[in-house]
Amino acid sequence: MALIVQKFGGSSVANAERIKNVAKRVVQTKRKGYKLVVVVSALGDTTDELLELAKSITDAPSEREMDMLLATGEQVSVSLLAMAIHKLGERAISFTGPQVGIITDPMHTKARILDINTSRIERALREGNIVIVAGFQGKTVTEEITTLGRGGSDLTAVALAKALRAKHCEIYTDVNGIYTADPRVVPNARKLDVISYDEILELASLGAQVMQSRSIEVGKKFNVPIYVRSSMNHTEGTLITKETRKMEEVVVSGVALNQNEAKITIFKVPDQPGVAARIFKVIADHGINVDMIIQNKTQTKTTDISFTVRKSEIRRALEAVRKAARSVRAGQVSSDGNIAKVSIVGVGMKSHTGVASKMFGALAKNKINIDMISTSEIKISCVVPGNKGKDAVRAIHKEFDLGNK
Amino acid sequence: MALIVQKFGGSSVANAERIKNVAKRVVQTKRKGYKLVVVVSALGDTTDELLELAKSITDAPSEREMDMLLATGEQVSVSLLAMAIHKLGERAISFTGPQVGIITDPMHTKARILDINTSRIERALREGNIVIVAGFQGKTVTEEITTLGRGGSDLTAVALAKALRAKHCEIYTDVNGIYTADPRVVPNARKLDVISYDEILELASLGAQVMQSRSIEVGKKFNVPIYVRSSMNHTEGTLITKETRKMEEVVVSGVALNQNEAKITIFKVPDQPGVAARIFKVIADHGINVDMIIQNKTQTKTTDISFTVRKSEIRRALEAVRKAARSVRAGQVSSDGNIAKVSIVGVGMKSHTGVASKMFGALAKNKINIDMISTSEIKISCVVPGNKGKDAVRAIHKEFDLGNK
Task: State whether residue A82 sits within 8 Å of chain B by CB.
Answer: yes
pLDDT at B374: 87
**pLDDT category of residue A265 using cuts at 50, 70 and 90:** very high
pLDDT at residue A246, rounded to an integer: 81
Q: What percent of chain B has pLDDT over 90?
A: 74
The mean of the pLDDT values for chain A is: 92
Q: How far apart are CA B158 and CA B222, in angstroms?
A: 9
The answer to whether the pTM exceeds 0.95 is no
- CA-based nearest distance B161→chain A, Å: 23
Q: pLDDT tens across A314-347, in order?
A: 999 999 999 999 999 999 999 999 999 999 999 9
Calculate the dihedral angle through the C-alpha atoms of B94, B97, B99, B100, rounding to the nearest 10 degrees. Answer: 90
Tell me how far apart the alpha carbons of residues B5 and B218 are, in angstroms, rounded to a whole number: 15
Q: How far is it, in rounded angstroms, from Cα B323 to Cα B317?
A: 10
pLDDT number for residue A298:
66
Mutation target among B49, B57, B94, B117 for the A interface, most CBs of A within 10 A: B57
Using one digit for the tens of pLDDT, what is the confidence trace for A169-191?
A: 999 988 889 999 998 899 999 99
Q: Residue A77's closest chain B neighbor by CA?
A: B69
DSSP string covering B172-218, please? Answer: EESSSS-BSS-TTT-TT--B-SEEEHHHHHHHHHTT--SS-HHHHHH
In this complex, the residue of A68, A80, A84 whose CB is nearest that of residue B79 is A68
Per-residue pLDDT band for A12 (boundaries 50, 70, 90) equals: very high
A130 neighbourhood in chain B, CB within 8 Å: none
Q: Do B62 and A78 touch (CB under 8 A)?
A: no
Residue A206: is its pLDDT beyond 80?
A: no
pLDDT category at B113 given cuts 50, 70, 90 is: very high
Q: Which of A364-373, B205-214, B306-315, B338-347 has the lowest mean pLDDT?
A: B205-214
Cβ–Cβ below 8 Å for B68 and A84 = no
pLDDT in tens, A269-279: 988 888 888 88
Sheet-wide strand order for A333-336: A290-296, A302-310, A261-270, A333-336
Q: Is the Cβ of B16 closer than 8 Å to some Cβ of chain A?
A: yes
Question: Are B57 and A143 in contact (CB < 8 Å)?
Answer: no
For residue A91, pLDDT over 80 is answered with yes
Cross-chain CB nearest to B80 (options A53, A78, A83):
A53
| Mutation for A interface: B50, B64, B80, most A CBs within 10 A | B80
Chain A CA closest to residue B79 = A65
CB contact under 8 A, A86 and B65: yes
Strand partners, A40: A8, A134
pLDDT band, very low/low/confident/very high, at A299 (cuts 50, 70, 90): low
Long-range (24+ apart) CB contacts under 8 A made by A106-110 are A106/A140, A106/A142, A106/A144, A106/A146, A107/A146, A108/A63, A108/A64, A108/A66, A108/A67, A108/A144, A108/A146, A108/A147, A109/A63, A109/A66, A109/A67, A109/A70, A109/A147, A109/A149, A110/A147, A110/A148, A110/A149
What residues in A contact B63, CB-CB < 8 Å? none
Which among B293, B5, B300 has a CA at the least distance from the CA of B135? B5
pLDDT in tens, B1-16: 899 999 999 989 999 9
What pLDDT shows up at residue B6? Answer: 98
Instruction: Tell me the pairing of strands B372-376 and B379-385.
Output: antiparallel
Residue A121 has pLDDT above 90, yes or no: yes
pLDDT value at residue A212: 80
Contact criterion met (CB < 8 Å) for B68 and A57: no
What is d(CA B311, CA B288) in angstroms, rounded to the nearest whole number? 11
> Residue A286 and residue B158: Cα distance in Å, rounded?
49
Chain A residue numbers touching B87 (CB-CB < 8 A) = 57-58
* pLDDT for B208: 60
3-state secondary structure of B102: strand
DSSP A144-175: -EEE--TTHHHHHHHHHHHHTT-SEEEEEESS
Which of B328, B244, B338 has the alpha carbon at shortest distance from B282?
B328
Distance CA B116, CA B98 (A): 10
Q: What's the gap in Å between the CA of B40 and the closest CA on chain A?
A: 14
User: Where residue B145 falls among pLDDT bands split at 50, 70, 90?
Assistant: very high
Distance from CA of B137 to the nearest CA of A (A): 14
Of the pLDDT bands very low, low, confident and very high (cuts 50, 70, 90), residue B249 is confident
The answer to whether A18 contacts chain B (CB < 8 Å) is: no
Task: Determine the Cα–Cα distance for residues A198 and A227; give it in Å rounded to an integer.
Answer: 15
The sheet with strand B379-385 has its strands ordered as: B254-258, B339-345, B379-385, B372-376
pLDDT of amino acid B30: 96
* CA pair distance A278, A304, nearest whole angstrom: 15
pLDDT of residue A303 exceeding 80: yes
Confidence of residue A237 (pLDDT cuts 50, 70, 90): very high
- When CB atoms are compared, the residue of B53, B72, B143 closest to A72 is B72
- Residues of chain B in contact with residue A65, where contact means CB-CB under 8 angstroms, are 79-80, 82-83, 86, 94
Average pLDDT estimate for B203-211: 70
Residue B390 or B287, more confident: B390
Residue type, A154: D
Record: contact B80-A19, CB cut-off 8 A:
no
Percent of chain A residues past pLDDT 90, beyond the cut: 74
Average pLDDT of chain B to the nearest whole number:
92
Question: Please, how many CA atoms are within 13 Å of residue A17, restricted to the half-sphere of its CB?
Answer: 1
In this predicted structure, the answer to whether residue A194 has a pLDDT above a threshold of 70 is yes
Q: To probe the interface with A, which of B17, B77, B83, B132 has the most A CB atoms within 10 Å?
A: B83
Cross-chain residue pair B69–A61, CB shorter than 8 Å? no
B322-366 confidence digits (pLDDT tens):
999 999 999 999 999 999 999 999 998 888 888 999 999 999 999
Per DSSP (E only), the strands in A213-332 are 226-230, 238-241, 254-258, 261-270, 290-296, 302-310
Least confident of A147-156, A288-297, A377-386: A288-297
Exposed, middle or buried: residue B244 (CB in 10 Å: 0-12, 13-18, 19+)?
Answer: exposed
Beta-carbon contacts of B341 under 8 Å, excluding residues fewer than 6 positions away, are B206, B207, B257, B258, B259, B261, B291, B292, B308, B381, B382, B383, B384, B389
- pLDDT tens for B251-302 read 899 999 999 999 999 999 988 888 888 888 888 888 888 888 888 766 678 8
* Cross-chain Cβ contact B62/A143 below 8 Å: no
> Tell me: the pLDDT tens digits for A94-117?
999 999 999 999 999 999 999 999
What whole-number distance in Å separates Cα of residue B82 and Cα of residue B173?
20
Contacts of B93 in chain A (CB under 8 A): 64
Give the angle B369-B263-B397 at the CA atoms, nearest 5°. 45
User: Looking at chain B from residue 114 to 153, which residues have their Cβ under 8 Å from any Cβ of chain A?
Assistant: 120, 143, 145
The DSSP bridge partners found for residue B247 are none
The answer to whether residues B320 and B288 touch, using CB atoms and an 8 Å cutoff, is yes
Per-residue confidence (pLDDT) for residue B209, from 0 to 100 = 67
**In angstroms, what separates the C-alpha of A18 from chain B's closest C-alpha?**
10
Mean pLDDT of B221-225: 96
Nearest to A53 by CA among B83, B97, B92: B83
Q: Rounded to a whole number, what is the distance in Å from the CA of B44 to chain A's nearest CA?
A: 14
Region A148-152: mean pLDDT is 89
Q: Minimum mean pLDDT among A49-58, A181-190, B57-66: which range?
A: A181-190
Asked if B83 lies within 8 A of A54 by C-beta distance, the reply is yes
Question: Which residue in chain A has the smallest CA separation from B76?
Answer: A69
Quick check: B75 and A78 CB within 8 A?
Answer: no
Which residues from chain A sit within 8 angstroms of residue B79, using beta carbons?
54, 65-66, 68-69
Bridge partners, B241 (sequence order): B196
**pLDDT number for residue B277:** 87
What DSSP string describes A188-227? T--B-SEEEHHHHHHHHHTT--SS-HHHHHHHHHHT--EE
Nearest chain A Cα distance for residue B134, angstroms: 11
Of A124-128, A242-246, A302-306, A345-349, the least confident: A242-246
Say yes or no: B84 contacts chain A, CB-CB below 8 A: yes
Distance (Å) from the alpha carbon of B112 to chain A's nearest alpha carbon: 21
